[in-house]
A and B are shown apart, each in its own frame.
Chain A
């Protein structure tokens, strides 16, 4: 099955700086790559996603890049704000519709 690895496990940045979280996947058949944000005590919620026919996608301060050849995708958050502090999960989905999650990154934005 699919194996998704996520790094780093924790990340601290100063407010206004950028944050980058990286993930790799193993199954070349995976074709959908969402990112979820989980605030403390809350459920995971989708913040951005990318499909395998696209290399990059941006939504305001967040962007995701995908390198299918290297089986690598990344989340970029610019101009970080304290409300960006949360746990972020990457995931990969293949033909069976199953989502395989990374182990999460705890992002702390220091005011």
Chain B
């Protein structure tokens, strides 16, 4: 089954404690991205990757890191989480095609930083 898998689904952590949210897709998609969803603000892009070892900042990259060592995986790293990073996070993947293609979303990760 074609899917994007995120882990964990829920996470409560303390300020400053490094954490990683994993994202994996099995559709051989070149393009992967991370979004955060906050009430009234919609989905805002954090980072994206057009292929292995190619990553770039989205609209709200501050406080986040990513890596793309393999095509299928695109982890989101919070080196020193802060309460303003409490949010719902979605990973998405798609073929790299500007005229086309559906973005497939993971199940989401609800992060709370206290």
Contacts and interface: CB of A to CB of B under 8 A. Distances in A.
Interface of A: 1, 6, 9, 31-32, 34, 43-46, 49, 51, 89, 93-104
B43 A97 contact: no
B93 to A, nearest CB: 11
B100 A32 contact: yes
Interface residues of B, number: 27
Contacts of B103: 34, 46, 99
B43 A101 contact: yes
Interface string B92-114: 10101111101101111000000
A89 B43 CA distance: 9
A100 B106 CA distance: 17
Contacts of B74: none
Contact of A97 (B35, B41, B44, B97): B97
